Copies of this chain bind each other. A is one copy, B any other.
Amino acid sequence: MALIVQKFGGTSVRDRDRILNVARIVAGTRARGNDVVVVVSAQGDTTDDLIAKADEITHEANKREMDMLLSSGEQISIALLAMALQSIGCPAISLTGWQAGFRTDRAYTRARIKKLETERIESELSKNRVVVVAGFQGINRYDDITTLGRGGSDTSAVAIAAALHADLCQIYTDVDGVYTADPRLVPNARKLPSITFDEMLELATLGAQVLNNRSVELAKKYSVNLEVRSSLTDVPGTIVKEVADVEGMLINGVTKDVKVAVISILDVPDVPGVSFKVFSLLAQRKINVDIILQSIGRENNKDLIFTVALEDAEAARALLEENLARFGGHRVLVDTDVAKVSIVGAGIQSHPGVAARMFETLYENNINIRMISSSEIRVSVLIAKEEADRAVAAIHSEFFD
């Protein structure tokens, strides 16, 4: 008998039929002799509807009250799923975040889990019940309700799996696993049977929106085996774990990210401290900088070029123009017609030729590389946005066909 944590997102519980479908999956898992803890998100559009209600009243809602409001969403879905399980003869009980023992810090709307007190969940499991837990929420030390921010339900599921030493944490989603590329883009993309935490982290960061980063980090930290699988088709998904089964695979995936912008600060003085001033200013405003390129100084001037998330581009532009005199720069340019295409895989580290093969493929396809960045298991290039799909297909074909 194993202990399995199963997490279902908002679309998986969006209406009666989907809830009953989830109940059948959960009851089936229990019928095969497993203990099951289920983590669910708010139904379909519930969270958006609640945000709209708050927005009607004030555009600057207090964050504590926002968490009070939003946490009602999961409370509805856990009650409905518990009822659905009971209606098909599967003993079940629902628990809110605070009942399930989620203690967080006090950062409303983006709280971090500090501790999971598992007594209640364990007591319900010992009564042979499926425990249905509200994801995304907890309470802080003032007994006030907090929410965990984007992807919070994944994090809740992994935290439970870690605390209970679960054998497996299954993340049910719209797709049936992690693919070597976006199947909508690359028809012969392959589903990976397994992938390492580090590879998954690089993929998640790069725009493969299957799993939330925080949850993968947590899973890695506590060695929780994850499985990404579909709630609509009963096929094995992708296992995410410390060491992947398939060695020798050079790369695991090709991704593109078009939500990126290139910012260039032209003609800044080629003296020490300029980069520090620019990047510390951006960091103060919580704007993350990704790839950085600094031109070689000429005539005592240089250009500072870097990428930011598309949504931060205008804020970054305004901030830099305002402070341009402090850097001694002359002009700020923002280019949003760019895309970041990346390859991810543990093989990159051990096989030095992998990056070169990627660059060669782009060259053969006449695609110009504007910037490059790499980590031990990832190589990213910045190219023109209109060439991104062609680049992904060509690179995928080079490594997988």
- Which chain A residues have a beta carbon within 8 Å of chain B's beta carbons? 16, 19-20, 50, 53-54, 56-58, 60-62, 64-66, 68-69, 71-73, 75-76, 78-80, 82-84, 86-87, 93-94, 96, 99, 120, 143-145
Q: Of the candidates B60, B68, B80, which one forms a contact with A94 in the assembled complex, judged by CB atoms under 8 Å apart? A: B68
Residue of B nearest to A145 (CB): B96
Report whether B76 and A16 are in contact in the complex, using a CB–CB cutoff of 8 Å. Answer: no
A78 in contact with B83 (CB, 8 Å): no
B71 in contact with A58 (CB, 8 Å): no
Whether B58 contacts A82 by the Cβ 8 Å rule is no
Contact B71 A75 (CB under 8 A): yes
Could you jot down 30 A-B contacts, CB within 8 Å? A16-B56, A19-B57, A20-B57, A50-B76, A54-B79, A54-B80, A57-B80, A57-B87, A58-B84, A58-B86, A58-B87, A61-B83, A62-B82, A64-B93, A65-B83, A65-B86, A65-B93, A68-B79, A68-B82, A68-B96, A69-B76, A69-B79, A69-B80, A69-B83, A71-B75, A72-B73, A72-B79, A75-B75, A96-B145, A120-B143
Nearest-Cβ distance from residue A90 to partner chain B, whole angstroms: 12
- Interfacial chain B residues near A66, Cβ < 8 Å: 79, 83
CA distance A93 to B66 in the complex (A): 11
Most buried by B among A68, A73, A78: A68
Minimum CB–CB distance from A95 to chain B (whole Å) comes to 9
Q: Is the CB of B69 within 8 A of A72?
A: no
